[in-house]
Amino acid sequence: MNILRKDPDWWRGAVIYQIYPRSFQDTNGDGVGDLLGIVRRLPHVASLGVDAIWISPFFTSPMKDFGYDVSDYCDVDPLFGSLADFDQVVATAHALGLKVMIDLVLSHTSDQHPWFKDSRASREGPKSDWYVWADPKPDGTAPNNWLSIFGGPAWHWDAGREQYYLHNFLVQQPDLNFHSTEVQQELLAVAKFWLERGVDGFRLDTINFYMHDAELRNNPPLPPDERNDQTAPKVNPYNHQRHIYDKNHPKNVEFLRKLRTLMNGYNAAAVGEVGDSQRGLEILGEYTSGEDKMQMSYAFELLSGHAPLPASFVAETFRHLERVAPQGWACWAYSNHDVERHLSRWGLSAASARTYVTLLMCLKGSVCLYQGEELGLPEAEIAYEDLQDPYGKEFWPEFKGRDGCRTPMVWEKEAAYAGFTGARPWLPVPSVHHYLAADAAEHDPSTLLHHYRRAIAFRRNHKALRYGEMLDITVSGDVLSFRRESEDEVVLCFFNLSDQPVDTTVPAGDWVTIGGEIGSTRPQPDHSLHLGPWQPSILILNRGA
């Protein structure tokens, strides 16, 4: 039994490092990262002080969506290695004190999965209802107006069954039918397979897409003034609908309870990705409140925007979260494998990048970091001829896809392909990334890498930051302030989120400045506080003996 599983609440306030295996480290010279590459580089991850790793899909797959189209849930694609290699990842991670979370894609499979092949073979077969099939309208058109996130209708005609099947993503990713008890039981068995193999939890892809409206009702239109690009790029017609019938089904919670019951036996935890820009925080509350559903929900609010996060936006996000999901638990991230890297997206300077890292470590919730952000990697510019992402190919050039954030990790400044591989990598390594390689960053104490380590350690050392409530959220111009409070600590945080100096006031109390190592400044004896550009001040209440 994994001794790291003794604490059932290990996930609360945890810092989780996302590994995109295709781009982490190649060990066999084919230009694609693999599981043994993860083993090789895990000491780097552990050196950050994070609590867990999240590994994006490595299951058997035709790779139409780079592993998010699974054709065998219980095996490793040869591109990444073997089950024995995965066991080595788990053993190495646990030896380094890291939990292991894997990315389970349960809402849909590949069209090459044996289940789908059986389902499409006959309307009467044992798996005929394992996917979402529907007859055409009398005129032969699709059953309703639902759209795919990857562009076009969410229905595809199958000549064999003379029916349409639902695909919320690529045509090659048919949706499973969660209204089938057999489907639910089979997916629970998949989760159990990996739990028995030693994983400590799951990142659940598109968790709110699991179940659809059985009546297949049309989605209503979404007014133009309510559209945004959090779920899909603005050029995608997907943003023109209010998605109330193709996802977010109320009975989805019943399946989540079954999954939680299974995970409880292993002290495992899950973070569910809620892909919904219209009701995201509300669904977060529905899926994570209480002790019988998912522990965390992956929130998108801080993954969006094309300018540095203003203090007012951060404050309103957390106020809204408190209104609609007071018992929920969010997992925050600035970057991941689906969005433009935040240093480029927000146009951050070295100073602002450090401040946003410190802010992230002071917010209520858990945290996900994406590989390479600790090195300060900017978004890569990928030429069309090098593009791999089908999403980018569909909407180019208005939306260039996700390849720019998926380029290989840079480990060695002077090595070919920055030490990622000895062969031509599956995506190019930008020359500017070489200068940010891990070995170069290690030898320069001023780099962002060392700030990440200090900020993560700071969070770990203060229970109020990891577990406490977030109270008195206040905005004064560009200054965001709030209080984090646990049973034995009160921490007061101020952040100047601008490039101009500001003056503010600290409330009365016996406050002691902490966090000098991450740039925190101290107030004056008269409680006045001067904050330089992009400067925090973090204080702890001295409660005496």
The string over 220-251, giving b where at least 16 C-beta atoms fall within 10 Å of a residue's C-beta and e elsewhere, is eebeeeebeebbbbeebebbebebebbbbbee
Catalytic residue among 26, 51, 65, 205: 205
Q: How many Å separate Cα 184 from the centre of its chain?
A: 24
Q: For CA atoms 103, 107, 113, 118, give the dihedral sign.
A: positive
Residue 301: active-site member = no
Bridge partner residues of 530 (DSSP): 503
Other C-beta atoms closer than 10 Å to the C-beta of 191 total 23
Residue 85 tokens, joined: 């290699």
Other C-beta atoms closer than 10 Å to the C-beta of 421 total 25
Provide φ and ψ at 127, rounded to 5°. Answer: -115, 20
d(CA 490, CA 493) in angstroms, rounded, equals 10
d(CA 170, CA 239) in angstroms, rounded, equals 17
d(CA 65, CA 206) in angstroms, rounded, equals 14
CB 352 within 8 A of CB 342: no
Specify the pairing of strand 490-496 against strand 479-485.
antiparallel
Residue 349 tokens, joined: 């300077």
Give the residue carrying structure tokens 């007061």.
Answer: 492
d(CA 119, CA 196) in angstroms, rounded, equals 28
DSSP 414: T
CB 120 within 8 A of CB 161: yes
Residue 414: active-site member = no
CB 117 within 8 A of CB 158: no
List the end-to-end C-alpha distance of the chain, in Å, as a whole number. Answer: 41
Catalytic residue among 273, 301, 373, 389: 273
Bridge partner residues of 163 (DSSP): 158
Q: Which residue type occupies 261?
A: T
CB 270 within 8 A of CB 201: yes
Q: For CA atoms 33, 39, 42, 43, give the dihedral sign.
A: negative
CB 71 within 8 A of CB 109: yes
d(CA 342, CA 334) in angstroms, rounded, equals 6
Cα torsion through 179, 214, 298, 17, rounded to 10: 50
d(CA 164, CA 143) in angstroms, rounded, equals 8
Other C-beta atoms closer than 10 Å to the C-beta of 129 total 16
DSSP 136: P
Q: Which residues are catalytic?
A: 205, 273
